[in-house]
Amino acid sequence: NGEAVKACTMFAIQVNGAEITTIEGLATNGELHPMQKAFWENHGLQCGYCTPGMIMASVDMLKNNPNPTEEEIRHGLEGNFCRCTGYHNIVKSVKAAAESMQGGA
């Protein structure tokens, strides 16, 4: 229903009847969502294990703060763990998506 939640902490019954958007649901007509595209173009993913959570959390973050600073991005992604990238390219990806979604790139 438009609110980001951690799927690992939810029971299916808790979302019964809710509108659920997954990572696959972000793309439209075969076109990647700007956040998905930014992660791809800026090497914001490696093994892919954390990628869906990072992308979904980032999309939700930009709904409330369309032009976040690096510090705000890092704070907004707290609780999402990546063991591969060191977060630099994840933050870079979110920043690029924010600019793209505002028409700046």
Give tens-digit pLDDT for 57-71: 999 999 999 999 999
Rounded average pLDDT over 35-47: 94
pTM: 0.88
pLDDT of residue 104: 59
pLDDT of residue 10: 86
What does the DSSP 8-state code read for residue 47?
S
Neighbour-count burial of 58, counting CB atoms closer than 10 A to its CB (0-12 exposed, 13-18 middle, 19+ buried):
buried
pLDDT of residue 62: 96
pLDDT of residue 96: 97
